[in-house]
Structures are given as structure tokens and as C-alpha cells.
Structure 1
Amino acid sequence: MTKAVRYDEFGGIEVLRVDEVDRPVPESGQVLVRVKAAGINPGEAAIRTGAMADLFPSTFPSGQGGDLAGIVAGVGAGAGRFVVGDEVIGFSERRAAQAELVLVDVGNLIPKPDGVSWEAAGGLYVAGVTAWRAVHSLQLDIGETVVISAAAGGVGSLAVQLARRAGARVIGLAGEHNHEWLRTHGVIPVVYGDGVIDRIKAAAPGGVDAFIDAYGGGYVEMALALGVAAERIDTIADFAAAARYGVRTEPGPDARPGAEVLADLAALIADGHLEVPIAGVYPLTQVRRAYAELERRHTHGKIVLIP
């Protein structure tokens, strides 16, 4: 037997529990991973509440989570590029990553480079691939100014770094307690809230060329009010506004397979060119506490579960 997060009905964090389940057995094309770290994401909370049931229907009992990093514990037929003992990073499409043992399709795994911590690796896939696609969808030119909301969050903290690597001038919207971190990464910090448009204009007297919305709640309209063209706005959070105004919802025209992007991001981390801030680390048994912190929406970076 092995432990895994489960829930039997849509609801808040109170429906989450950790169960003893049968040990998974890898089938053709699958790898069994002993999880060392599993990141958590806002989308998982939305799926669990039923808010995304039309897009992501659930059967119960349901598992939870996609991000993971761990050690190969078994290999099915056709998955021979990995062997038992390999350290890997990846993503489970079965909403099952928050567990001790997880089955993963071989195409959703990459080798974990040396120098990448388990916590950073376990929280990388969803936020990292989302940030990469959002930045690349806008095809930023060197010297262009891009504003990124929730700039210290899980996606935003990676997007600001990737946008800087693309040569853009980056304005990051975040609370004051995260401003020093943004400055150390070459980002111009601006406090969100009342008066933010005036503060953005003061920080970008030449105007704003692009906008990445990693939060929702009116930022698409704000970007349009700043004069940003709809095709240079990408939201990962406000799909109603995207449909209304015709703005982008990543991945964009040059999207690459997630595993390829993941490999590039992991290499950047290993070489010291990308940081994954870790906001909190919780044991698997404290999954409710982890999501309670996430749902406050003020975390700096990623929250990770450790089985």
C-alpha cells in the first residue's frame, strides 16, 4: 500500500484527505515514480471545487495534482529510456501527483539535472511551462516594456525572469514585501491596488508594449486602458475577458511540447540562470494547510508537498 491525496466530492479544502491505496503498476509506456516533491497550483483548487467541471470532468474518488519530481521505481514496456533509480521531473495527466507513488507517461518526464533541488523540480512543470508560453506568445523585442501582474507568484516569478532574459524592460506588480526580490532580478516593482495605472505610467513614461496577466480580476481591462494592443496581452487567469476582448491565452503560435520546455527550464535552473522561489514546503499529510496558504493568493513562488 502507498499514500495518496483523494477526495470524493467537489468542495473546499475540507474534502481533501490522504488515503492508503494499492501500489500502482506501470503499463506500456508508463514509468512509476517515487515522488520526492509535488507542487500545487491554483488550477487544481478550481478543479476540486467543481468550478472547471465542464472542462475537466471528474470521477470519484479523484486524485489531485500534476507537478512532480522523484526517483524512478518501476518501468513499463516501451519506457526503457529510464531505469530504476533515475531522478526525473515531470507531470501527471491523471491528477495523481500528490502521492508517494505516481504513474507517469514516459513522454511527460525528463531527467532531473544535478543542481536542481527537489523542491524546485517538483514545482516546475505547470508554472514554468505556463510562464514560458506566456512570455514567448508575446514575442518580446529587446527594449520593449512588459507589465506582469502577480509578479512574485508561482507563474509571475518565473515570467519576470524569462521576460528579462528575452531583453525586455519588465515592470512587476506585487506587494511591497516582494519588491526587493524583484529588484534583484532586474525588475521594476510597482505596488498593485488603487492608483496602479498612474504608477505604471510613471514607471513607463514611454508607454507599455505588452502585458502578462497572471492574476485576473480586471488586469486585461487595465492593459487595454494603458494602450496595449489586444494581441500583445496574454492572460492565464481571466478567460472571460480574453473571449470578450480577443486577447491571448497562452501558449501562442510557437508553442513547443511541455517536456521540451521543461528541459530548457531545468537546464536554466541548473546553470544558475533561473530561480524557482519556494513559498512553503508541507508534508503530504498537511495538504489542506498547503492549499489554504495557496488560496490566500499572496505567496512568493511555489508551494510544494513532500510525501
Structure 2
Amino acid sequence: MRSSTTRQRQVRAPGPIWAGAVDTVVSGTQASVTVPGGMLTDGWKVRWRVRAINTATTVGSSWSDWQNLTVYVPDPVSEPAVGALQVSPAEQADGITFTPTRTPALLAQVIDPAGQPLRAEAEIEHDPAATGQGSGQIWTGTADNVASGTQASIAVPAGKLVDGWKVRWRLRAVAGDTSSAWSDWQQVTVDVIQPGEKPLAQTTAPVIRADQSFTAAAWLRWSDANGDYSIIEQRGTHQAPFRLGNTPEHGLVFTFTKADAANAPAEGVRSGIKPPVDEWFHLAATYDAATRTATLYLSAPRWAPHSCPSPHGTPRRLRCGSVR
């Protein structure tokens, strides 16, 4: 017949630290008593012993010999990691990330199980898919003493990025001599919007083949005929291939640039006509690629065709309705 026993253990270093018991242990089997948290400290040298008590008769055995034990808790292994990568400020459109500034911040959460402060390292390079914009690394930056589990922020300094560039970036975390793997490459397009310039709508890619004939038209109503407006323009890196709009000096305009350069002149229709104010009107513009002429129509009447250059062939997003 099997009897039920209770086994007890004591731990000392020096003097009693803790005593515990486990009940209903079947004779001939192993008893296990777990020391609760907060009782022992890393580095302590302690001793412990155990005895058995028959719970039916309350007869107990002698205490076992003391067993020596050193408490050793190994340090967590340092394994830096990064996650939750993002650019700020930024917006998403059809799966494409755009930043409206040349000095965005690159953000990521950095983690190390060992809990020590980390250094975040980032690098930016030209997107290999954006041919003609350059190649290779553009800039590297770091953020030091970032607490594990928090967000690292690395600001791109002025003068490194250019409006219109498509770039990619990645980030890693470093703890002492150990670093994480680099994150996957993150793509972002620099599309600078000046204060007050945000358009009513814009596409994520070119829409109009400006090297071919096309027509653009819109119904409009505004309260100031002297504003500097872009009704429709397909942007370039430095200059729009074409722009249908209004300027204080020339009224309604339909202009073109033949080179995507900062100093490229705009040519085309400068009508000198100010549109109606506080009433709806229809504006249309046509471009004939064969004859390289541009024509404007205001609520049906047209102005004589004007010679214009062939628009340059490096367009970006199409914008509708913005203040320049």
C-alpha cells in the first residue's frame, strides 16, 4: 500500500531565507518545490535540505544533508533588432510613399533583449529603378543612446535630397559590438509642397504624354483673378513640362519647358486675359505635337495659336488645382 507524504525544503544564506512544501506526493516519486520570485539574489551562495512527512501519521524523516548551491543568472544575450520603419512626414498614394520635404526623419523602433541603449544607423541611396537621377549612396546618419523598445529618429540634413528624387533607405540597430541585420530597403519619393501649394488632387505617376498631342480642360470659379494658380500641370523635378494656369502678370497661361532644369525658360501662350470672377467659366487648352503649337479657349472663343517648345520628357505626378 502506498502512503502519501509531504516533503519540505529549507534554504539558508546565512539564516533561514525561505521554507516551502508540496503535498500529496506519491511514495517512490519525485517531489518538486519551486522557490518563488524575490527570495534569491544573483550571486548568492546558499544551501538547502529536504525531509519527508507522512501526512497520515505526521511521522517525519530526518533532514537530508545540506546541499550547496550558487545562484547564477546569465545576462540576456544581446540581439539588437529594428521594426516599424517609417518616414515622417509622409503620405501614401496607391502604395507609393511620398515625403513633402527634403529633410524628412527616418523612424524605427529599436529593441535589444539585454536592455542596453542602442545606436540606430541609417543610409539612403538612389533607387536603382530611377535611372537618370544618380546611383549609389547619398547619405548616412546615426542616433545614439536610444532606449530599447523606443523609437529612433534620424533627421536627413538639408542639401542631401532633391525634389523629385526617388530614393530608398534602410536602418539597423547596434548594441556595443553587436548589430542587427539591415532592414529591407524602404522606397520614398521626394515631392516638395511649398506652403499653400497643396493641390486639390494629384496622381501618383505621369498621366499625359507631353511629347504627343493632348487636350486639357476644366470648369473653374475663383474670387481673385490676380492669383498665381496652376489649374493642371504635370510636374518635373525642376520644371513642369506643361502648365495650364493663371499669373498676375499674364492672366491665363498655357506654357511649356523643353528641359527639366532650374533655369529652363517657360514658353507658350500668355494670353493677357483675366478670367471672370465669382462665376463659372470653361477653360480648355490644346497642344499639337506635329506643329508644336498651343491654343487656349475661354468659354468657346480662342486665342490665336502660339508656337511653343516640345515639352521635356521627364514628367512626374499630374496636379490639379494648386496655388503657386
TM-score computed with the length of structure 2 as normaliser: 0.25
The structure that is strand-richer by fraction is 2
Larger radius of gyration: 2
Higher RCO (C-alpha under 8 Å, 6+ residues apart): 1
Q: TM-score, normalised by structure 1?
A: 0.26
- Please state which structure has a larger fraction of its residues in helix: 1
